[in-house]
A and B are shown apart, each in its own frame.
Chain A
Amino acid sequence: MAEVSLERVTESERAGFLTTELRIQIGTILGVWASWEALAQSGLFYRDIVPSSLRVFAAMWRHLTEAEFYHHLGVTSYEVLVGFAIGSIAGIGLGILFGVRRFLGRVMDGYILALAPAPKVVFLPILMVVFGIGVGSKIAMAALSAFFPVVLSTVAGMHLINPTLIRVGKMFNASPWQMVTKVYLPSLVLPVVTGLRLGLGVAIIGTLVAEIKLAKAGLGFLAIQNYELFRIPEMYSVIIIIFALAMGANAIMTKLTDRLTQRGMPKVEVSGAA
């Protein structure tokens, strides 16, 4: 570990601020952009299928300066966050329950394992019938998507909990709620965090798919509306913004969860320094 980081330091020192990896990454983006622009200017394709990046940027500027865009952004964020919260809480709660009640867990295992890899989009028509074509069905879709990775990783984590720690909690007469908050959840931080990361990703996907399919508002709706109106630069603009937002959401999630997983797991360096 130490050797790797040492190597990195010398390498980035040699390169100034840019490491080799970063240079290649930036170079790739510039390369793709240049090829895109060359293709757009060449006239080989109908100009609206590969519009000039300048027109895409202009559309992006219009989006980002319009109030309407932020309405759509707000709707999508709301759907993702509420759906993710519902799916995660249900996933963690049921995961712990299935772990504690082993018999129930064995019964439910079959269903969860069968449903987990199935594309959740097949449930979309049902959700639309039940919750309508508005925000409700999008939240339901996000919740359903987030639920499976979270419940799977929680159940897996419950199987790995040190049984002695459970005996310690019981011996000191911890209530069921105290067992959850003081023994199970702290033991589950690592697997649950992994599940939450995956869950947020699929919640975003689920929401956007639902919005693209049938909706009245949201970024997915905005993208498909622009497509239907054949406003291709605007469509690309929305897609790029969605990409950037998804990456941003993932980065924030990583920051938050890193802080969470570091609690009580001191690094070797910390003890060495003390």
Chain B
Amino acid sequence: MAGMLEVRNLSKHYRRDDGTGVHAVDDVSLSVAEGEFVSVIGPSGCGKSTLFSVIGGLVGDYEGDVVVDGQVVRGTHRDIGMVFQEESTFPWRTTLENVAFPLEVAGMPKAEREEMARRFVRLVGLEGFEDRYPSELSGGMKQRTAIARTLAFSPKIMLMDEPFGALDEQTRMLLGDKILQIWRELKQTTLLITHNITEAVQLSDRVVVMSFRPGRIKEIIPIDLPRPRSSEIIATDQFGRYVGAIWQLLREEASRGMVEAENV
């Protein structure tokens, strides 16, 4: 079955100026079907973010192929939209102007793009904050602005790199619900990168567990939980079993990462 997004034998080495190198991603192959929600989870330093940057076209000079809807792509691509881990809203633009940014870049007339941006602002639950600047918003609201902005780009594939990484646990759970609600509505193919097991199980159809450096796929776990889901599902036994199984897989990798970090 040909997926919406296919990663074929992807490897990426980073070379440093002193001649040493880091083997960040090693021979990763992954197929994501249209409308599927897949999470990639792994310990710090497993190459998750590198994988994200390569698929998004922000990092070049890699081996293997990224295939979107049957086409091999290099560089940034119209069908791939990204949400970054760090704060990425433009501080000089209001919420509405931030969300309208990709439409403005594409040359859409002002009235039209504002109307469309308003729809996505509502979708992420920020109505009433259209004219606020990022400095007046909380971290969670800024991340929702960034998510709305990428949704307004209308990509076929949403790539999210730990979009809630910098947020507190409660905000993270509520935003997870929001993401699920939006995903149900738009049925976008979504790839979420995370190091949070609960988040991965709560949101995904499949969870890809990666090994510590060089980043390889250790195992892919289908999450067979009923949808629609909400954050309440984390209290069920079945949910707990998935979390436990993934933690088993991750623990070994995470300790390898820790040992290496301490020896540096």
Chain A contacts to B: CB under 8 angstroms:
164-165, 167-175, 178, 182-183, 186, 189, 263-266, 271
Contacts and interface: CB of A to CB of B under 8 A. Distances in A.
B79 to A, nearest CB: 11
Contacts of A173: 76, 78, 105-106
Contacts of A263: 92
Interface in B57-73: 57-58
Which DSSP category, helix, strand, loop or mixed, fits chain A's interface? Answer: helix
Given A182-B101, A186-B92, A264-B92, A171 B82 contact: yes
Contacts of B239: none
19 contacts: A164-B84, A164-B86, A165-B88, A168-B88, A168-B90, A169-B105, A170-B58, A170-B76, A171-B57, A171-B76, A171-B82, A173-B78, A173-B106, A182-B105, A183-B90, A186-B90, A265-B133, A266-B133, A266-B135
A171 to B, nearest CB: 5
Interface string B100-119: 01101110000000000000
Contacts of A182: 101, 104-105
Contacts of A167: 58, 82, 84, 88
B87 A174 contact: no
| Count class of interface residues, chain B | 20 to 34
B56 interface: yes
B224 to A, nearest CB: 33
B105 A178 contact: yes
Contact of A265 (B57, B91, B102): B91
The CB with the most chain A CB atoms within 10 A, among B58, B93, B105, is that of B105
B105 A265 contact: no
A147 B106 CA distance: 34
A172 B79 CA distance: 10
A140 to B, nearest CB: 35
Interface in B188-220: none
Interface string B26-50: 0000000000000000000000000
Given A182-B105, A266-B133, A171 B58 contact: yes
A256 B175 CA distance: 42
B136 interface: yes
Contacts, number: 56
A199 to B, nearest CB: 22
A100 to B, nearest CB: 15
A266 B136 contact: yes
A264 B87 contact: no
B163 interface: no
Contacts of A264: 91-93, 133
A174 B132 CA distance: 24
A107 to B, nearest CB: 17
A271 to B, nearest CB: 5
Contacts of A165: 88, 90
A169 B76 CA distance: 11
A265 B135 contact: yes
Interface string B156-187: 00000000000000000000000000000000
Contacts of A186: 90, 92
A170 to B, nearest CB: 6
Given A165-B88, A263-B92, A265-B92, A171 B81 contact: yes
A178 B91 CA distance: 17
B120 interface: no
Contacts of A174: 105
Nearest to B132: A271
B153 interface: yes
Contacts of B153: 172
Contacts of B86: 164
Given A164-B84, A164-B86, A264-B133, A172 B105 contact: yes
A186 B98 CA distance: 13
A167 to B, nearest CB: 6
Contacts of A271: 132, 136
Contacts of A183: 90
A194 to B, nearest CB: 17
Contacts of A170: 58, 76
A263 B133 CA distance: 10
Closest 6 CB pairs of A and B: A264-B92, A172-B102, A271-B136, A186-B92, A164-B88, A164-B86
Contacts of A265: 91-92, 133, 135
Contacts of B93: 264
Given A172-B101, A173-B106, 19 more contacts: A164-B86, A165-B88, A167-B58, A167-B82, A168-B88, A168-B90, A171-B56, A171-B58, A171-B81, A173-B78, A173-B105, A175-B105, A182-B104, A183-B90, A263-B92, A265-B92, A265-B135, A266-B133, A271-B136
